[in-house]
Amino acid sequence: MSRAATAARAPGFDVLAIRREFPILDESVRGKPLIYLDSAASAQKPRAVIEAMVHAMEHQYANVHRGLHWMSERTTEAFESARDAVARFLNAPSRDEIVFTKNATEAINLVAHAYGRGVMDPAKAVLISAMEHHANIVPWQLLRDARGVELRVCPITAEGELDWEAFERLLADGRVGLVAITHMSNVLGTVTPAERIARAAHDAGALVLFDGSQAAVHRRVDVQAIGADFYVFTGHKLYGPTGIGVLWARAELLERMPPFLGGGDMIASVSFERAEWARIPHKFEAGTPPILEGIGLAAAIAWVERVGIDAIEAHERALTDHALARLAAIEGVRVFGRAQDRGGVVAFALDRAHAHDVATLLDRQGIAVRAGHHCAEPLMRVLGVDSTARASFAAYTTRAEIDALAEALERVRRFFA
Amino acid sequence: MTDASADFADLRDLYQEVILDHGRHPRNFRRLAPPARHARGDNPMCGDRVEVWVRLDEQDRIADAAFEGRGCAISVASASLMTETVRGKSAAEARALADAFRSLVRTGRCPVCGAVHAEDLERLRPLSGVAEYPSRVKCATLAWHALEAALAGEASATTE
Ligand SMILES: Cc1ncc(COP(=O)(O)O)c(C=O)c1O
């Protein structure tokens, strides 16, 4: 209790009450209360999500879109209403624009195939940034290798922000067909200027995809206000279950894109000669979809909306400021990224100790952080390191936990001194 | 190290003094000239990288072993301790030691330790704490994989 005790920072935001909704936060690790600072890798789940999924399995479950029976009809309704929840969450104009995938990675692969190979002119280039997750690099490399599409990479500044001059230069020849860029870096915490990016991309004749895997968890996202063409995120980082991700795309694009995977559920009719595709979004959802995960994701979104995404953002901003100040006071600690606009992710290194040793020694003290390349190896090269440690924050993170991190890190520093 | 034992008791059981010492001041951290055999080891999961050299004498015993590389304290300490323990061993003995060591760091125990190379394994035992961290076992075994590759005349080894 004492480690978690802290005053709520954002008005009306009671972090202790929030923590009570997360059963796992009662767990101990090595005899110490769990201090979970790895939410950017995957967030813990509130009881509302757990119960929604259990309730479905216990009371209301069957396959969807197939049975004519009561259970199937009810389950179909519950699953389809998850699309409404996502559409509302992203302020998407229509539930038909919400495609469920396995995760963000699959959503980006879907776009790389169905739009990249199926619609985009192969003479056009794809523009990504130097701070992408592998999920937003490798699908475009596969597209490049398959279709000869040029892949351009926009550098970042020393602060860890998108290098805007370079960005405009890379768009200037009008040959970029798609800008695919993170809305928030999972390493640097940098939030990219999405509206400005979308405007510049459109002015240059390109479409824009945002990898919102991190941003959607920490910010209010409005795909219409941004002017996005594609937006993806992943359920398990948003307090929801694993196994479900989201692709939002403008209906007109989804209509023009050929299917990604073939099978049941994505067709209107099939003969041995040919198949007719189902209407969107079902055209992109082959096979039995993640039914329980959809129900869980809807519950997660409802939970986030109840707490308030703006309140979560304010809470995390206070935590991040506090973490940056505490880490800066520790000798030999280097923090990566100094973006003006940043979310609750802090990557750091200790000058005398390897990131893996730091993570293990923090784990010995009951603190879970991530260490490694964070699926962003090219970014590690830009930063001139092999790996970093990373602490990341969520709605349930407390100021006291950050103090515990700082104290534990100070011990690690002395241990390696 | 000023702040010795008590304050760090919870950290020491995994990072014993010998690991910190070899991690900070690796022994045999150098290259050997040809015809010494050489192989590199990569752990793609964490970016650890090690290069190992071994020179065999006329009786095919390891006359010298050395390494270079970068990585965490566990991987550097393990490579350093390895270069010390394999000296004077035949290739077959070094391989047997590698097997016993792998079992030690994977399980934390070593049923064969009493039988073969008891003393050598006793020196390596401080690394056995990684058994608790399956993802870090590879840090400890990386140099040994590279050593075996070098002895077999292969250019490289990975932990994958
Ligand atoms: C920025 C970013 N993009 C994409 C992903 C991939 O998410 P998933 O593994 O759920 O597909 C992650 C998380 O690992 C991420 O942080």
Task: State the pLDDT at residue A108.
Answer: 98
SS3 state of residue A268: strand
DSSP class per residue in A58-113: HHS---SSS--SHHHHHHHHHHHHHHHHHHHHHT-S-GGGEEEESSHHHHHHHIII
Query: Is the pLDDT higher at B113 or at A63?
Result: A63
Instruction: Give pLDDT tens digits for A212-237.
Output: 999 999 999 999 999 999 999 999 99
Instruction: Name the pLDDT band for A293 (thresholds 50, 70, 90).
Output: very high
Residues of chain B whose beta carbon is less than 8 angstroms from a beta carbon of chain A are: 1-3, 7-8, 10-11, 14-15, 20, 45-48, 70-74, 133, 136, 139
| Tokens 């103090």 sit on residue | A403
First to last CA, chain B: 35
ipTM (interface predicted TM): 0.87
Please give the backbone phi and psi of residue A103, each rounded to the nearest 5 degrees, phi first: -170, -175
Q: Using an 8 Å Cβ cutoff, are A132 and A144 in contact?
A: no
pLDDT at residue B111 tops 80: no
pLDDT at residue A1 tops 70: no
Chain B residues in contact with A356 (beta carbon < 8 A): 46, 71-72, 74, 136, 139
pLDDT at residue A197 tops 80: yes
Chain B residues in contact with A415 (beta carbon < 8 A): 3, 8, 11, 15, 20
Q: Nearest by CB to B3, which of A373, A386, A414?
A: A414
Question: Which residue segments constitute the domains of chain B, with CATH numbers given?
Answer: 3-158 (3.90.1010.10)
Task: State the pLDDT at residue A327.
Answer: 97
Q: How far is CA A262 from CA A67, A265, A280, A283, B55, in A?
A: 20, 9, 14, 9, 58
Instruction: Give pLDDT tens digits for B98-108.
Output: 999 999 999 98
* Summary mean pLDDT of chain A: 94
Find the A188 Cα to ligand 1 centroid distance in Å: 14
For residue A237 the two structure tokens come to: 């980082």
Mean predicted confidence (pLDDT) in B117-142: 89
A375 is catalytic: yes
DSSP class per residue in A377-398: HHHHHHHT-S-EEEEE--TT--
Q: How far is CA A101 from CA A51, A229, A289, A376, in A?
A: 22, 17, 8, 22
CA-nearest of A391, A378, A396 to A129 is A378
**Rounded distance, CA B118 to CA B131, Å?**
19
| Low-confidence winner among A399-403, B50-54, B68-72 (lowest mean pLDDT) | B68-72
CA-nearest of A47, A46, A45, A27 to A35 is A27
pLDDT at residue A12 tops 80: no
Interface contact flag, B11 A356, Cβ < 8 Å: no
pLDDT at residue A178 tops 70: yes
Task: State the pLDDT at residue B3.
Answer: 47
Query: Any alpha helices (H) in A247-398, and if so which ranges?
Result: 251-256, 291-307, 309-328, 355-363, 377-383
Instruction: Name the pLDDT band for B1 (thresholds 50, 70, 90).
Output: very low
Task: State the pLDDT at residue A346.
Answer: 97
Task: State the pLDDT at residue A10.
Answer: 53
Q: Using an 8 Å Cβ cutoff, are B4 and A400 in contact?
A: no
Mean predicted confidence (pLDDT) in A144-148: 97
Q: Nearest by CB to A357, which of B1, B10, B73?
A: B73
* Summary mean pLDDT of chain B: 88
**Rounded distance, CA A54 to CA A63, Å?**
16
Question: Which residue segments constitute the domains of chain A, with CATH numbers given?
Answer: 15-33+308-416 (3.90.1150.10), 50-306 (3.40.640.10)
Q: Letter for the amino acid at A68?
A: L
Q: Provide Rg for chain A, Cα atoms.
A: 22
Task: State the pLDDT at residue A16.
Answer: 97
pLDDT at residue A4 tops 70: no
